[in-house]
Amino acid sequence: MNAVNQQHENAQAVTSMTMIQALRSAMDVMLERDDNVVVFGQDVGYFGGVFRCTEGLQKKYGTSRVFDAPISESGIIGAAVGMGAYGLRPVVEIQFADYVYPATDQLVSEAARIRYRSVNDFTVPMVVRMPCGGGIYGGQTHSQSPEAMFTQVCGLRTVMPSNPYDAKGLLIACIENDDPVIFLEPKRLYNGPFDGHHDRPVTPWSKHPASQVPEGYYSVPLDKAAIARPGNELTVLTYGTTVYVAQTAAEETGIDAEIIDLRSLWPLDLDTIVESVKKTGRCVIVHEATRTCGYGAELMSLVQEHCFHHLEAPIARVTGWDTPYPHAQEWDYFPGPARVGAAFKRAMEV
């Protein structure tokens, strides 16, 4: 939990929330606070979203603030760009990150560029929420992690929370931010933390301290990483579900890893990364997304550029394989604690 926001917590009632409830609470708070905030997407209105993230919002704020959209990703994003140009703050949902591709033109060519190409004449203060990630037997089109498609687009911000507290605080920060933001939500973490041990029952968020979420307004700063586990032997750069995988791998291997939950993928918190790697001299990068040209490659480059003389071992990556996300082979694909732990050990042996 973030010390910066301690004052907010002290000032208001705190409730145990799942990630779903925390995200819904963030949208509720911002719909209440700012008349220009509108929420829409496929099944988002009356039904409250296929993941329940917008449940009750339409009833509370009316159909002109929270509404259902046609099944058209480029239509949803394109309309939101126009609304942003008018002066609204659209918070739109793409049902699965796997289905964002039809909107690529609107995101890359338009949302990301309009401020630049118009010299601030027009801006797009938009948030695009999209459930991402695997580990749920989602197969090829319900499991992808397309963050590298966005981190390489200049003008976009890409953010991914890993717990209810951050989910609400980061989403509020993103809605208030004047840049277009891709807000990736690991659906594997919607109902509880998950460390890759699919053979064990999943614990609900209520057993985890980060489920304690203030009911009202607070924010978690963008471009600021969190140290999920302090350590001295090895730096782990990760985000989303693999934060918990890395924590479990550290426990199981007994390696004193410093696990950094990046939270903001791009722009990112380089200082925290560099400080940690300079301290530990070793770095392992973990993400679910496929390896080649994945976001991990950029992290490797940055660490190599900024920490070269401090490195005592090659930087390692544990990622999804360079294959489409399979269904039956879920746990051979997903980078679980065994694979991550093995990488930790190799990094220490060099």
Partner 1 sequence: MTDYAPLRLHVPEPTGRPGCKTDFSYLHLSPAGEVRKPAIDVEPAQTTDLAFSLVRVLDDQGNAVGPWAPELSHEQLLRGMRLMLKTRIFDARMLTAQRQKKMSFYMQCLGEEAIATAHTMALRDGDMTFPTYRQQGILITRDYPLKDMICQLLSNEQDPLKGRQLPIMYSSREKGFFSISGNLATQFIQAVGWGMASAIKGDTKISSAWIGDGATAESDFHTALTFAHVYRAPVILNVVNNQWAISTFQAIAGGEGTTFANRGVGCGIASLRVDGNDFLAVYAASQWAAERARRGHGPSLIEWVTYRAGPHSTSDDPSKYRPADDWTNFPLGDPIARLKQHLIGLGIWSDEQQEALQKELEAEVIAAQKQAERHGSLVDGHVFSAANLFDDVYKDLPEHLRRQRQELGV
Task: List the end-to-end C-alpha distance of the chain, in Å, as a whole number.
Answer: 33
Which of 99, 122, 321, 331 touches partner 1 by CB under 8 A? 122
Where are the strands (E) in the chain, listed by range? 14-16, 37-41, 66-68, 89-93, 127-132, 157-159, 181-186, 212-214, 226-229, 234-238, 257-261, 264-266, 283-290, 316-320
Considering only residues 24 to 53 of the shown chain, the ones binding partner 1 according to CB under 8 A are 38
Which of 1, 15, 52, 75 touches partner 1 by CB under 8 A? 75
Among candidates 187, 161, 127, 145, which has minimal Cα distance to 289? 145
Determine, following the binding rule CB under 8 A, whether residue 109 of this chain makes contact with partner 1: yes
Binding mask 202-231 for partner 1 (x = CB under 8 A): ---------------------x--------
Segment interacting with partner 1 (CB under 8 A) among 21-29, 101-109, 128-136, 276-284:
101-109
Residue in 142, 197, 208, 309 annotated catalytic: 142
Rounded Cα distance, 37 and 83, in Å:
10
Which of 34, 47, 82, 323 touches partner 1 by CB under 8 A? 82
- Closest distance between partner 1 and the C-beta of residue 122, in Å? 5
User: 234 with 287: CB under 8 angstroms?
Assistant: no
- Tokens of residue 175, six digits: 């809605």
- Closest distance between partner 1 and the C-beta of residue 266, in Å? 9
Rounded Cα distance, 112 and 125, in Å:
10
What amino acid occupies position 319? T
Handedness of CA 186, 188, 190, 194 (dihedral sign): negative
Of residues 105 and 332, the one with the C-beta less far from partner 1: 105
Segment interacting with partner 1 (CB under 8 A) among 105-113, 189-197, 274-282, 311-319:
105-113
**DSSP-assigned beta bridge partners for residue 39:** 66, 91
DSSP state of 79: H
Determine, following the binding rule CB under 8 A, whether residue 201 of this chain makes contact with partner 1: no
Rounded Cα distance, 97 and 94, in Å:
6
Determine, following the binding rule CB under 8 A, whether residue 127 of this chain makes contact with partner 1: no
Which of 267, 293, 314, 350 touches partner 1 by CB under 8 A? 267
Segment interacting with partner 1 (CB under 8 A) among 106-114, 239-247, 276-284, 313-321:
106-114
Considering only residues 150 to 189 of the shown chain, the ones binding partner 1 according to CB under 8 A are 154-155, 157, 177-179
Determine, following the binding rule CB under 8 A, whether residue 118 of this chain makes contact with partner 1: yes
- Tokens of residue 94, six digits: 């793409």
Using DSSP bridges, classify how beta strands 89-93 and 157-159 pair: parallel, antiparallel or unpaired.
unpaired
Determine, following the binding rule CB under 8 A, whether residue 301 of this chain makes contact with partner 1: no
SS3 of the chain: helix, strand, coil, percent, to 5:
40, 20, 40
Of residues 73 and 330, the one with the C-beta less far from partner 1: 73
Determine, following the binding rule CB under 8 A, whether residue 147 of this chain makes contact with partner 1: no
Residue 327: active-site member: no
Which of 14, 50, 227, 270 touches partner 1 by CB under 8 A? 270
Report the interface residues with partner 1, using CB under 8 A: 38, 64-65, 69-70, 72, 74-75, 78-88, 90, 102, 105-106, 109-110, 113-123, 154-155, 157, 177-179, 223, 267, 270
Catalytically annotated residues: 142
